[in-house]
């Protein structure tokens, strides 16, 4: 019996609506055995030509924090670039906690824009990613924390998200608020039936194009949804979802013998010092900052409220404070807040309310200034390994570093790998991008140690 072969050429192209999520797709593919590269903008022919073996190509973006009007201006040319890569399948990557609303980061509006360029007979929507403790059951999304698994609208972090608090766990209902396209769900009972959801999908296809959310809670479900997506891609197809899309495709490809499991990934090796910058207000990041303070990191607070009045002065002050910590032999962690209850958060909101900026622009300013701080420290010190914490922060900060592409180097927790950053000036840099709620409490120390195998239970 012959083993089904994957098509020649590009298997996948993707756009991520934030930088950390974009990198997470690359990580899943690379460590899963599919050579991949992530560009931070539409690549030039020369930049693309530097990665001739890449079978999957992504473009990182910031649509998660932007308005529909911004999407109208910026996304169609990027989607056209994805089409030009000639992939067998395209993916609009969104957060595994579905961060979005009709006004900010609208997934539905993005689907409306991308469908004429990359869309097919249906739009599979796989938000779940069981390896990351993100589950969809009977249409509802659940996410794990350190103390349990919560339905999304009751999640202690996502229900309090400062920009897009989640009040609806039914994925189809949530998306229906953002687009006029019909929505449906193929649930666990159908996926686990004798035909693996085939009849359910056939009925939906007869009714016309629709966004179809897909349940998934374990590895077997991933194989089933991976088969539905891959075998029903037609001449072209756009999938929407988290890196669960890639987990599902890899699981299906392995199940039919089309790819082999790669060897275990290894550590990149420890370095004496790193620099981390954080614009996240997540309680998870607050725990990581607290751990770092007790384990050899010097903490430097960037006063976000002062940025509103004089960003250049506050950036310069922060750089000098961070350099002092590095000169003392410590790694340094620059942060704008230590969790949602830090008084700095209220001070920042007060400063924004008294200024001419809206909150979206003010939040972008934090990320941009953290990126400038990091860029100065990389230029003026010996540091060659860094972390940016915060999904939106990562997008704005990375743009300050002269990085045009990332390739995965060493794993940590799913979705927060250490990467090789390819910079325009060629200077070496290893960079990790981490979502606010991602990672163990010792994550920053883990990156200092080089990622790879990890035995802590933190």
pLDDT in tens, 201-239: 999 999 888 999 999 999 999 999 999 999 999 999 999
The total number of structural domains that make up the chain = 2
Which two tokens mark 214?
A: 């897909």
Are residue 117 and residue 224 in the same domain, yes or no?
A: yes
Alpha carbon of 446 to those of 24, 65, 133, 225, 452: distances in Å?
17, 28, 20, 33, 8
Q: Which of 209, 225, 255 is the last residue of a domain?
A: 255
Give the SS3 label for residue 257. coil
Domain that holds residue 382: 275-448
Residue 185 pLDDT more than 80? yes
Are residue 244 and residue 314 in the same domain, yes or no?
A: no
Residue 3 pLDDT more than 80? no
Least confident range of 142-151, 160-169, 341-350: 160-169
Are residue 365 and residue 232 in the same domain, yes or no?
A: no
Are residue 143 and residue 29 in the same domain, yes or no?
A: yes
Which two tokens mark 85?
A: 């890569």
pLDDT tens profile 440-454: 999 999 999 999 988
Are residue 65 and residue 181 in the same domain, yes or no?
A: yes
Give the SS3 label for residue 158. helix
Residue 44, domain member (yes or no): yes
- In the numeric block, the tokens 């794993």 are attached to 411
DSSP bridge partners of 387: 276, 432
Phi, psi for residue 52 in degrees, rounded to 5:
-65, -20
> What is the distance between the alpha carbons of residues 399 and 425, in angstroms, rounded to a whole number?
14
Residue 5, domain member (yes or no): no
Phi, psi for residue 105 in degrees, rounded to 5:
65, 30
Q: What is the pLDDT of residue 159?
A: 72
Residue 162 pLDDT more than 80? no
Are residue 146 and residue 19 in the same domain, yes or no?
A: yes
Residue 458 pLDDT more than 50? no
Residue 126, domain member (yes or no): yes
pLDDT tens profile 56-89: 999 999 999 899 999 999 999 999 999 999 999 9
Q: Are 38 and 60 in contact (CB under 8 A)?
A: yes
Q: What is the pLDDT of residue 201?
A: 97
The rounded percent of the chain whose pLDDT value lies above 90 is 84
> What is the distance between the alpha carbons of residues 266 and 411, in angstroms, rounded to a whole number?
8
pLDDT tens profile 255-291: 999 999 888 889 999 999 999 999 999 999 999 999 9
Which two tokens mark 139?
A: 């249409």
Residue 457 pLDDT more than 80? no
Are residue 290 and residue 230 in the same domain, yes or no?
A: no
Q: Interior CA angle at 54 toward 217 and 424, to 5°?
A: 110
Single pTM value for the model: 0.93
> What is the distance between the alpha carbons of residues 362 and 280, in angstroms, rounded to a whole number?
14
CATH number, position 374:
3.40.980.20
Are residue 248 and residue 279 in the same domain, yes or no?
A: no
């Amino acid at each position: 019996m012959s083993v089904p072969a994957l098509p020649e050429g590009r298997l996948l192209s993707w756009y991520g609506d934030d930088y950390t999520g974009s990198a997470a797709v690359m990580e899943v593919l690379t460590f899963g055995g599919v050579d991949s590269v992530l560009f931070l903008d539409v690549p030039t022919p020369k930049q693309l030509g530097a990665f001739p073996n890449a079978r999957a190509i992504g473009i990182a973006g910031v649509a998660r924090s932007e308005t529909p009007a911004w999407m109208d201006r910026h996304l169609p040319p990027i989607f056209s670039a994805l089409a030009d890569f000639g992939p067998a399948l395209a993916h609009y990557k969104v957060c595994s906690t579905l961060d979005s609303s009709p006004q900010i980061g609208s997934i539905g509006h993005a689907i409306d824009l991308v469908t004429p360029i990359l869309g097919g007979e249906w739009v599979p929507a796989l938000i779940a990613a069981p390896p990351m403790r993100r589950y969809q059951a009977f249409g509802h999304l659940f996410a794990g924390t350190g103390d349990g698994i919560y339905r999304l609208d009751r999640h202690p972090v996502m229900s309090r998200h400062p920009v897009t608090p989640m009040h609806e766990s039914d994925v189809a209902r949530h998306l229906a608020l953002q687009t006029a396209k019909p929505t449906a769900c193929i649930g666990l009972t159908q996926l686990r039936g004798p035909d693996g959801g085939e009849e359910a999908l056939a009925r939906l296809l007869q009714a016309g194009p629709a966004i179809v959310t897909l349940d998934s809670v374990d590895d077997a479900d991933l194989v089933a949804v991976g088969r539905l997506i891959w075998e029903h891609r037609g001449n072209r197809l756009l999938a929407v979802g988290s890196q669960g899309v890639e987990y599902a495709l890899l699981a299906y490809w392995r199940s039919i013998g089309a790819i082999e499991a790669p060897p275990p990934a290894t550590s990149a090796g420890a370095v004496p010092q790193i620099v981390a910058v954080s614009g996240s207000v997540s309680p998870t990041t607050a725990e990581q900052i607290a751990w770092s303070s007790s384990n050899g990191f010097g903490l430097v607070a960037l006063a976000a409220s002062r940025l509103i009045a004089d960003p250049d002065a506050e950036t310069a002050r922060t750089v000098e404070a961070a350099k002092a910590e590095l000169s003392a032999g410590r790694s340094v962690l620059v942060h704008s807040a230590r969790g949602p209850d830090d008084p700095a958060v209220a001070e920042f909101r007060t400063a924004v309310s008294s200024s001419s900026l809206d909150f979206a622009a003010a939040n972008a300013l934090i990320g941009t200034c953290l990126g400038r701080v990091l860029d100065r420290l990389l230029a003026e010190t010996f540091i060659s390994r860094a972390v940016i914490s915060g999904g939106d922060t990562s997008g704005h900060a990375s743009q300050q570093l002269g990085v045009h592409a990332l390739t995965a180097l060493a794993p940590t927790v799913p979705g927060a790998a250490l990467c090789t950053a390819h910079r325009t000036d060629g200077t070496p840099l290893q960079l990790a991008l981490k979502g606010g709620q991602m990672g163990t409490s010792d994550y920053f120390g883990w990156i200092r140690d080089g990622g790879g195998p990890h035995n802590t239970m933190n």
